[in-house]
Amino acid sequence: MHARAPRPILPRLLLTLALLAAGLAAVVATPGTARADGCYTWSRTLSQGASGADVTQLQIRVAGHPGYGGVLAIDGSYGPATTAAVKRFQTAYGLSADGVAGPATFGKIYELQDDDCTPVHFSYAELNNCNTTWAGGAVSATTAKANALRTMWKLEALRHALGDEPIRVTSGFRSHACNDAVGGASTSRHLYGDAADLGSGPHSLCRLAQQARNHGFNGILGPGYPGHDDHTHVDHRSSRFWSASSCGI
């Protein structure tokens, strides 16, 4: 009786690798999914009519693309304004501008954010040189920090629109004590964590103020407004107030 000859190893190995590759391709190609991210991972494609926490997370990241004078509501509802903001985000980063947030859009967002959800060119520390707790302002520490995150994503959009050159933040969140120490107004938006003062650098203060009108800031104060000749201030106040007379605003 003869022993059966062993089956060749190479063909079996190649078959196994082919099956694994096919399985991986199926996972990658599943509509609406995208790779896992250290900050937040979207699990479905989003388009007009969708709602939920994943829409809110998307809105935070595209709120800097509302168009001239626009302010995108962060309300978890994917309406026409969110669709338009997604289209502008897609156009800004060379994606197909269909207003639908799918793997390509999410992939670009993943490239733009760090694991703590801040955009890659800004940080919580940069938006708070007052304290490490975000406490002592006009809102809770949690709200102040969340407001600062929204500011950073708008600044990321502003930065990209200006050629991806650095933007220098000179002041962000302030507690009442910090605000008093620098002579800030008693109603300063810095107390809410949703304001940032920008210093000159690659761009003039006027250039920053002018471009900020396209990136979701209701408050813009700059050269020509009392006390603002050395910086441009942006914030999220409830109604529009733009004043930088030296810049034509």
- Give per-residue pLDDT as tens, 166-219: 999 999 999 999 999 999 999 999 999 999 999 999 999 999 999 999 999 999
**Catalytic residue at 228?**
yes
pLDDT of residue 21: 44
Helices marked H in the chain: 9-29, 53-62, 80-92, 103-112, 141-161, 176-181, 205-212
CA distance 88 to 55: 16
Give yes or no for residue 243 having a pLDDT over 80: yes
> What would the two tokens of residue 125 be?
């520390």
pLDDT of residue 35: 64
Catalytic residue selected from 65, 160, 215, 228: 228
CA distance 155 to 116: 16
pTM (2 d.p.): 0.86
- For 17-72, what is each residue's pLDDT tens digit? 444 444 433 333 334 444 679 999 999 999 999 999 999 999 999 999 999 999 99
